[in-house]
Each structure stands twice: as structure tokens, then as C-alpha cells.
Structure 1
Amino acid sequence: MPPSAAPPDPDRILGCLLAGAVGDALGAPVEAMSLAAIRERHGPYGVAGYTGPAPGAISDETQLTLFTAQALAQASVRARARGIGGATLGLLQSAYLAWARGQGEPIPEQPSLSPGRLASVPALMSRRGPGRATLAALRKAAERQKPGWPLGKVDEPINGSKGSAGVVRAAPCGFGFPGVKGTFTLGCEAAALTHGDPSGQLPAGVLAAATASLVRGADLPAALDLAAAELLRRPHHRETAAALDAAIALARTGPPSPERLESLGRGFTAPEALAIGVYAALCAESAGGGAEEIGRRGLLIAVNHSGDSDSTGSVCGNLLGARHGSRAVPAGWRDALEVGAAVADLAEVCALEFGPNPPADEWGEPPMSWHMRVFGS
């Protein structure tokens, strides 16, 4: 069975969410610090593990990724229960609005807005440096008080942003859709809810499509090749394709270093965040070793630079975790991760819902117990 047709591997789903969260937690304390400042504080090799006042604490990258995964599982349950689809983007927007309220944003009361099980995890509902473009877009969507009606669309841009917050939450879009084309489209549409520039959307499509292949057994170069081929079929792809090509080429030309990495940018835009995450993941794999060694190496490459270290760490972690599973995360980092239990629970939900035999009753519909677990009510 080719990877594109296989069901997602449960451990690769867990690895994707887990390593992405760990990369975020490693990078968050040094986000926007210069490389010189990182080395002055942490030594000549930079960050080597969790740092900061709350080691293992995550930021908005992980919050949004988990809310994305939860909403996608909810959309699948609803489609199986009612026999119709089409609610995915509305549920995603609703999830993001619930998240924004948790950030303390003045979001008007919304009808039928349920934050789900994640609302019970304080670290996922507290303010952790949310992006301005994301919050502004969600405030605009909230003004209509129709959370299930997506406002930002690929063909109706909500703003002109191409910031990294659209790509960092896109990996779960690859869990439930085995086809590269459909997954790529979903990644773009999910990013378009808050980021209107094509260069804020297409990197999300690349990460979603690559993740879809990885969790179904593909290796990293093959997954990136399939995603890149789909990217070239999309309009306005030039900036994202150039960033991705530069990352792949740079990974082939010599040993990694922060200085070489920084030639790809700083990671504050989506194409740059994607490029740095891809570069770090490819460099980590090319050096060889076991899954844990590769995961550790890649995440540290991804966060030790002058830029958006939590975003680039998250993207790299998504890729390596989806490729190597939970073994890509060193046990000490996994055990100290602030939201480790929530990640494990949500990964299990996604693996079951998107697996070959999702929970069903005697009539073939999701049982009430499963509905309550996925929707948190």
C-alpha cells in the first residue's frame, strides 16, 4: 500500500504534535534574541535544553496547533454523524475564537461557541504571546457573531499578512486527509482564516501536505518532494517555492550552522519559518543516528538563531516527529513538557478518529461517549 493510501500511524501523529510542542518550548525563551545574545547567555553552542523561568512552557504556536487538531477531529465526527461535510473551516474558526477569548481578547459573546476539552488546560487558554495579525483577524470575524461562518478565505483575504502564525498550526491538517492535493488545500484554507497573503497560506499547505505523507510512512525527502510539486501548481507560489528550494539546497551543501541557517531569514514570515524548519530537519537526518538523536539535533538547530525560534522549532518538530514518531523526542524533554498529557490525549483522539476504524456504534455512527470525548461535553 503506498503511503498516500495508508492510514496515519498513531505514533507518528503523537510524534508530530509532541515534537512540535517541544520545539516551541525550546525556542520560546529565546524568540527574537540575537544569536550573539543567545550565545552570551547559554554558551557558545546556544540553547541545549529547556530554559527560561518556566522550563518546558509552550507558547501560542502549540496552543493553536492543538486547537486545530481538536477542531479537525470534531469536524470528522460531525461529518460521520450527519453524513455531510463542509463544517471544517467553521469549526476551525470557532476553535480559534474560543482560543482568542482565552487570551483575554474582547471577543463578543458568540452563539454555539464551545472550546472543547482543551479549555480545561490552563496553559492552553492563557496568554502566551499571540500574534497581532491573528488576533486582529479573529476580532474582525467575531464582530459578525457567526463563528461557524468563515470570514478569511483564500479568494477573499482578510488582511495582507504572511506572518508565521498561519504555517505553525497547519501540521494537523495532514492527519485526516491522505491525498496531497486535498491536504494542501485544507492547510491553505486554515491559514487563510487569519492570514490573507498567499505567502502566508501556501507554506501552511506545504507543511500540511508533507505531514500527510509522513504520518502515512513516507520519508522526509519524498514527503517534501510531493508537497513541493503541489506547491508549483498553485498561483502566487514563487516566494514560498524559492524559500523551500533554498532550504533544501542549503541542507545539501555542508554542515549546519546558525550563520548558514540565517541566510534563509529569521522565521517571522511563513516562507522563512517553513524554510528554517525544513533545513533543520533535513540537516538532522543527514547526520544520521537514531530517532532521538535526530530529533534532538534538529530541534536545537531550529531554535538557535536570531529570529522566531519558537515558530521554527515547532515546524521542525512537526516534521521530524511525523517522520520518526514519539521516539524523536528525548524522554527528559517529553516528561518536562508543560502540556504533555494534553498532547498525548489529543494525539490518541486524532489517531482513533482518523484511523481505519473510527469509533462507531451498531448503526455505524459515532457513539455518544466518543462525541463527548471529542467535543468535551
Structure 2
Amino acid sequence: MTSLSILDLSPVPSGGTTGDALRNTLDLAKRAEEFGYRRYWLAEHHFASGVASAAPAVLIGLVAAATSTIRVGSGAVQLGHQTALAVVEQFGLIDALYPGRIDLGLGRSGQRRTELVAEAKTPPPHQPARVVDGLLIPEPFSFAAIATSPLFALYSSLLQQPGAQSPDFADQVDDIIALLAGTYRSAEGLAAHAVPGEGADVELWILGSSGGQSAQVAGERGLPFAANYHVSPSAVLEAAEAYREAFKPSETLAAPHLIVSADVVVAKDDETARELASPYGLWVRSIRSGTGAIPFPTPQEAAAHEWTEEDRALVEDRVTTQFVGSPRTVAERLRVLRDVTGADELLVTTITHDHADRVRSYELLAGEWAASGG
């Protein structure tokens, strides 16, 4: 049976507070453990009034303390904003209290601005939407306009020390591996030991949205890889293929191990689920317009928005690839995603305005998944 896991952004509901979002996260994590989910991952987002997960290591510690058996981790730490040592010390500290339960997911989100600026100057060839064995692969969305905005440049500068430059992602991953193993040596041959961190029993993951460097690094180092269908659905097959092609067996893995994410809303029937999911497009629009995620609207607030063709183009790939419906409807679509990508695990992220509806969505999905054999 394919395992189900959760990715949580700690969404702030319209009319709610950051405290509400964090308390909801702790409650959901405890319920997720009861429902049988394998992992509970926390995202990293900044400058968004509608998302509270700005410091995943802090939140992971709180979630681990509130639960007993579920694995807890990051989806993902943005390495462009932190040093390898800082990451190893943070997760080593958490592992010291909750050994054998912590996942360290690493991502390049803070390092891709240069690539996106180049994409704005030379857009890639147009790729039309297609369906592969029942799975929608939409037309790619370009983040170049966001990456070249003055506001994005400001945010990027505030996340780093003045004049700082992020090392190459592969080099940072190698440093993290060495610090965890206690084998780190400088160019001059000097040893450095992370305390806490060295010897920590954390499970290292790489997250990626394309077949680029993240997939390559994960494969070449024999690490498990997470491909983001919920963020960049157009590139999920490319990411999975690139990871498998690059894979080399390691002490960690003898064969590739892939987890694939999906946006999901489940309710008692398809109509109810569509109503609960109706604010999703407006929420995605706020992110892709470059201003950051707004507090998640109510269905009534979303219905009042006057959509333009430009608005619809901003969110189309995300809205059309969200899995919405009854437990059976969504489970069937998740099986298609699993089969087409060859995923070993699935990572589900659900956002609704009301916390009770979000908890119920996860509960219904877990029950159907178990009953149908995954």
C-alpha cells in the first residue's frame, strides 16, 4: 500500500490570526497521526500574511512535541537563506529530543532567482497541455515575471545578510551530508563538527519542481526525492524521470524513492468538496501576482471576486490539477498520479477556510485510502 503523508503550510484563514493557524497545525498533526498518515511536513514561506510557516525548524519541534509516532519534517528548508551548519544544528537539536522521527527536506527556492531572470529574457518554447494516461500535465507557468519584480528583489535581500551570496546547492547538500556524518573538512583539511547535529538520525530528502539541479543532486547522491505536482504540475514527469536517470545507489538507498505532492480537498460528496475548494484559485492568484499568499478566503468571499482573463491564466494550471471531490473521486485520481509518476509515496496538502473541514478532508481520504488498499 502506498503511504500517504501531509504537507502543511499553516494557512491563516480569513478573519483569523497567525496564532489560530499554528494552533490548527498542532491539532491537525495530532489528528493526522490518529488517521495513519506517515509523515507530517512543514513548508517554508516568507512575506505572506496568509501562511504562518516561516520557520519550519521551530514548527517541526512543536509538532514533534505534540505527537508521538508520526515522522515530522521540512518541505522544504530553503537553502538559499541559510548555511549548511545552521540547518544541521537546528535539525540535530530537534533529533536529540525526538530521535528517529525527523525528516530534513532541502530545497533550492532561495537560489533560483538568477535562473528565473534569465528565463524572462529568453522564454522557453511553448508546451501545450496534455493528458498522460489520465493525468493532466498542464501548460507550464512561468515565474519569471514574479522573479524580476522589485518587490521580489526586496524580499530576497531581506532574507540574507547584506552582500551575502548563496553557495551552489550541490555544495550545500554535500556539506550537510558531511556535517551529519562527522566527515566535514575544509579546503585546507581542517575538521568541523556540528554539535548538536553530528550523528543525528534524520532522514535527508531533496525537494524539486523540475528536472533540474534538485533532481540531479538527489539522484547522484542516492537520496529520496520529492516532486511537486502541486506547485509545478507541468514538470512532474520531467522531475521524476531526471531523478531516476541520475540515481546512484548509496548507503541510504539501493533504488530510487519518490514522493509526489498533490493539492486535495475531500468532502462527503463532489459538490460539497467543490464549494470548500472554491477559494483556492483566488488564494493562488495572490501568490502568483507577487504580493504573497492572502489569508485563505471563505467561499463567499471568493465568489465576490470579479475574475479577468489575466487572473484565470495566472491560476489555471493549479486549479485544474487540484484533486477535489468525494473520498472515492479523490482516491481514484491520486492512484492515477501514483501510477503515472511511479511514486512510492504521496504527499497531500489541503487548505480550506474552516479548520474542521480541513481535518475532515484528511480523515475521509485516509479512511478511503485504507479501505480501498491504497
**Structure 2 length-normalised TM:** 0.32
Hey, which of these two has a bigger chunk of strand by percent? 2
**Structure 1 length-normalised TM:** 0.32
Hey, which of these two has a bigger chunk of helix by percent? 1
Between structure 1 and structure 2, the one with the greater Rg is 2
Determine which structure has greater relative contact order: mean sequence separation of CA pairs < 8 Å that are 6+ residues apart, divided by chain length.
1
